[in-house]
Amino acid sequence: MASATRPQSLKARQRQEREQLILQTADELLLEKGYHDTSIEDIAARVGISKGTVYLHFASKDDLVFALLERGMRELQATLDAIFSSTGTPREKLCAVIEQFYAHLMSQQRLQLVEALFRSPELHSRLMERRELFNKAWAEPRKCIIALLEEGKAAGEFDPAIPTPVMLSLFWSMISPHTHRLLVVEERMPSGIVVAHLSRFLFKGLAPGGDCPAIAPETPHEME
């Protein structure tokens, strides 16, 4: 007979709750003040704990930021899992992914924070050290998007003649931070309008029976 799961101790539960409060507070302060103007002292003061207590959970501000990035990736995966497991056609699900990115995952403040982090040479260097970790985090969403594209091809929604890697690249470009900044931030277009036009453009291009002429294979001379 399998043993029952041992309940979490009060001390462990309190530690976990305190860690989540530190992360939430750090997220708020980073959005308000930016990476360079936010200190561990600021975070501790707002939480109402000592600076040393923060260091019991996170060895440095950078480690705290990486914990936030990892938490964001988990939240993203949970959002995508809900979309992928819902009823609907592949096209409807891909539309929902685009909507989620623009409505919730790419607010102007959060985008500015991400850009600030990547402009920090020391933080960017440490991010590159953990690149494999974040590549793994993106592996599952990538696999799910590919599955939807293949399902759409099989159902006749998408043109089977278009290679799936090309479709995937086009889709990622629709939800890239660069596209968001260009259209929503710089052009000041409402995100709902952007999503509608990008979705229309993407799925019209992926639909079978397009007007693009067949592309002949490259000859060895053309490839040189």
pLDDT at residue 135 in the model: 74
Architecture of the domain spanning 13-59 = Orthogonal Bundle (1.10)
Q: Model confidence over 175-200: pLDDT tens digits?
A: 877 787 788 778 888 888 888 898 88
Q: How many residues does the chain have?
A: 224
pLDDT band at 117 (very low <50, low <70, confident <90, very high): low
Q: What are phi and psi of 17, to 5 degrees?
A: -65, -40
**1 pLDDT more than 50:** no
DSSP letters, the chain, are: -PPPPPPPPHHHHHHHHHHHHHHHHHHHHHHHH-STT--HHHHHHHHTS-HHHHHHH-SSHHHHHHHHHHHHHHHHHHHHHHHHTSSS-HHHHHHHHHHHIIIII--HHHHHHHHHHHH-HHHHHHHHHTHHHHHHHHHHHHHHHHHHHHHHHHHTSS-TTS-HHHHHHHHHHHT-HHHHIIIIIIS---HHHHHHHHHHHHHHHHSSS-SPPPPPPPPHHHH-
DSSP per-residue codes, 170-203 = HHHHHT-HHHHIIIIIIS---HHHHHHHHHHHHH
Which pLDDT band holds residue 32 (cuts at 50, 70, 90)? confident
What mean pLDDT is predicted for residues 164-172?
A: 92
Choose the weakest-confidence range: 42-51, 159-168, 185-194.
185-194
User: pLDDT at position 169, please?
Assistant: 92
Q: How confident is the model at residue 55 (pLDDT cuts 50, 70, 90)?
A: very high
- Per the model's pLDDT, the better-predicted residue between 214 and 170 turns out to be 170
Q: Residue range 161-185: average pLDDT?
A: 86
Which has the minimum average pLDDT: 39-48, 72-81, 135-144, 213-222? Answer: 213-222
What homologous superfamily is domain 60-208 in, according to CATH? Tetracycline Repressor, domain 2 (1.10.357.10)
Q: Which residue has the higher pLDDT, 192 or 120?
A: 192
Q: Spell out the domain ranges in the chain.
A: 13-59, 60-208
Is residue 145 within 8 Å of residue 130, measured between CB atoms? no
